[in-house]
């Protein structure tokens, strides 16, 4: 859903409005969007990437507006944010999360930066998937309310089986809206068939491949520094 919220034609026009700006895009984008970008980033290294650029540099950041605004707030940099979102992180209910915290004394709210601002404000810790996993391992709390795709709870339970992990509830209690519809399309059978038959194959234009590799390599170069 995040990649779908940033179409090539629309993003191309958006970039043209701000000549000279450096374009940073999240890894959850299509190869076409990467081909229009200067640097890629992950939720783990977005702050580092932004702060690496000169302080007076104008930055276009996309597609996730929540992650972009979070990084903008941390760094105070001049960032123009594309209005895209991940359907999972837009669906959490702040009211339900706060009730869970009240019902579980001593618990901590941990959230991914793709969450909306009210959830981030309520959070005791904000971090990428890997940072959330590190936090629950080092923190003394016994119970965590987790505001990100609930698939991560499995890894958290493996890392700390003695602790309790509660998925943050969605605004609509009648659906599993906090689960990623697209991630849940992946099955063991599909993985098996892909490995065995090397199908389906994703084919890209060689020029797109070459251009899309540039921002990824740039990200890795900056991350190493």
pLDDT at 170: 86
HSE, CB side, 13 Å, CA atoms: give it for residue 116. Answer: 12
pLDDT at 174: 56
| Spans of the chain below 50 pLDDT | none
Question: In the β-sheet with 22-26, what is the strand arrangement from edge to edge?
Answer: 39-41, 22-26, 59-62, 79-81
pLDDT at 75: 96
Give the global pTM: 0.87
pLDDT at 175: 57
Rounded distance between C-alpha atoms, residue 11 and residue 31, angstroms: 13
Q: What is the pLDDT of residues 180-214, one digit of tens each?
A: 778 888 999 999 999 999 999 999 999 999 999 99
pLDDT at 177: 60
Nearest to 46 by CA among 29, 68, 78, 20: 68
């Amino acid at each position: 859903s995040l990649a779908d919220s940033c179409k090539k034609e629309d993003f191309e026009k958006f970039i043209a409005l701000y000549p000279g700006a450096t374009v940073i895009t999240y890894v959850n984008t299509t190869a076409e969007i990467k081909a229009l970008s200067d640097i890629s980033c992950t939720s783990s290294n977005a702050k580092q990437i932004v702060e690496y650029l000169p302080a007076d540099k104008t930055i276009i950041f996309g597609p996730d507006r929540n992650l972009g605004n979070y990084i903008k707030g941390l760094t105070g940099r001049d960032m123009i944010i594309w209005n895209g979102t991940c359907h999972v992180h837009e669906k959490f209910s702040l009211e339900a999360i706060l009730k869970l915290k009240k019902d579980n004394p001593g618990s901590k709210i941990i959230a991914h930066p793709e969450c909306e601002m009210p959830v981030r404000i309520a959070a005791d810790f904000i971090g990428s998937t890997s940072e959330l996993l590190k936090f629950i391992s080092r923190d003394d709390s016994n119970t965590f309310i987790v505001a990100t795709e609930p698939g991560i709870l499995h890894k958290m339970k493996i890392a700390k089986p003695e602790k309790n992990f509660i998925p943050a509830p969605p605004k609509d209690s009648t659906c599993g809206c906090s689960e990623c519809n697209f991630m849940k399309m992946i099955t063991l059978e599909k993985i098996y068939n892909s490995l065995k038959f090397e199908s389906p194959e994703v084919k890209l234009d060689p020029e797109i491949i070459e251009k899309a590799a540039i921002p990824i390599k740039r990200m890795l170069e900056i991350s190493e520094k």
